[in-house]
Amino acid sequence: MTTELDTTMSKLRVGMVGIGFIADWHSNGFKNNPDAAITGMCHVPFGDEKEKAAEMDRLKKKCAGLGVRAHASFESMVDDPDIDALIIGSINPYHFEQIKSGIAHGKHVMVEKPVVTDFDQLDEIRRLSAEKSVKIFPAHNLVYRGAVRKAKDIIEAGTLGRIIHSSFMTTHTISEAHANGWRADKRLGVGGALIDSGHHLIYQALYLLGRPAKLQGFKSKMVLKKMDCEDTAQVSLLYPDGSMAVIMQSWTSNHAGMINGIRIFGTEGSLAITDGLYLNDGKIDDDVEYAGSFVNQSKAFSDYILRGIPPVSGLEDVRDTLKITFGAYRSADSDAVLDFSTM
């Protein structure tokens, strides 16, 4: 078995596991990619027998609508010689074993967030993928927005002067199915709003600002009382240069239109990523949409596999995102400020 791909092939053939809402975003993201196409899908059903049967029926209908092959199992898809790479979009507890299977079969892998929820598993993935020369691509889609990439350039150019404070904030509600499904069970989700939706905020903060020096976390369950974990979380960060930031993710309200987004100010200027990228209150970029991030991410994935261009946010960012997340949970439980370097 080889992991070397024939770069003369017309398109990279991608198999995707999972039929949740994220599958549609990935499907649309790959739709016009000249270098790659989703050609097969599978699903690992969750729930009782009736629920599992309904989910498999959904798989068949979705695949028929997309014109791709419906695989009866993950094992069937990962063993298919006509599949070159995988997108892992299953629920969190399935990621680790599916990634390992993909590596063993020589398939390059894009993995939805969180890639894994255990540091030992992450270490094993890194070791196995290096041994097999298989590439692992974290699906940190929001850093592939043009506005975020341009914001990074602005910060690195020193346009804002010395950065003083930043905020990364999002609140939105989630569906009843999500609030009462596997995300409600701490054994499956490991955490609540922060490790799930908040993942996006944390990896963007790492991309734009780097690693913090210290952090303190807070969490609360204010609305979604049936969940084991938090529906709202906040992380306060102190950076080595003395600047500060706050990350807040909530699943409680859709009434934060003027609050949601990324905002960074320094001694010489400010930027905001909301409905566009604003530099000193002037709009300079429109590439901020969720849908567009999947288009850009799809291209980055195929570029990584076919051309060796590394991802913007890699496995080291996965580790740091987990360190901030679990550090925030530990801080919230112990009412302590934690040193990032010792976590």
Q: 180 or 302, which is more confident?
A: 302
Do residues 68 and 17 make contact, with C-beta atoms less than 8 angstroms apart? no
Are 260 and 331 members of one domain?
Answer: yes
What is the band of 74 on the pLDDT scale with cuts at 50, 70, 90? very high
* 254: exposed, middle or buried (Cβ count in 10 Å: 0-12, 13-18, 19+): exposed
- pLDDT > 50? residue 1: no
pLDDT higher than 70, residue 330: yes
- 181 and 208 share a domain? yes
Evaluate whether 26 touches 1 at the Cβ level (below 8 Å).
no
Whether the per-residue pLDDT at 6 is higher than 80: the answer is no
Mean pLDDT of the chain, nearest integer:
95
Average pLDDT value for residue range 323-335: 98
- ∠ CA 137-319-75, nearest 5°, is 45
- 3 state SS of 164: strand
- Location of structure tokens 């790479």: 85
- With 90 as the cut, is the pLDDT of residue 301 above it? yes
Count Cβ atoms below 10 Å from residue 49 Cβ, excluding itself: 8
Same domain, 325 and 224: yes
Averaged pLDDT, 8-35: 91
Write down the pLDDT at residue 20.
86
Strand (E) or helix (H) holding 325: helix 315-334
- Do 215 and 271 lie in one domain? The reply is yes
* pTM listed for this prediction: 0.94
Same-domain pairing of 190 and 338: yes
Stretch 17-23: mean pLDDT = 92
Q: What is the pLDDT of residues 119-172, one digit of tens each?
A: 999 999 999 999 999 999 999 999 999 999 999 999 999 999 999 999 999 999
The mean pLDDT of 305-330, rounded to a whole number, is 98
What percent of the chain lies above the pLDDT cut of 70? Answer: 97
User: Which pLDDT score, from 0 to 100, does residue 65 have?
Assistant: 93
Q: Residue 9's pLDDT band (boundaries 50, 70, 90)? A: low
Its domain, for residue 154, covers 143-288+321-342
Q: Which of 139, 165, 199 is the last residue in one of the domains?
A: 139
Distance of alpha carbon 271 from alpha carbon 165, whole angstroms: 11
Predicted pLDDT at 46: 78
| Cα dihedral 286, 291, 297, 303 sign | negative
100 shares its domain with 45: yes
Identify the CATH number of the domain in which residue 41 sits: 3.40.50.720
**Average pLDDT of 169-177?**
95
- Residue 28 class from Cβ within 10 Å (0-12 exposed, 13-18 middle, 19+ buried)? middle
Residues 281 and 164 in one domain: yes
Is the CA virtual torsion 152, 158, 159, 160 positive or negative?
positive
What pLDDT does 10 receive?
67
Task: Decide if 250 is inside a domain.
Answer: yes
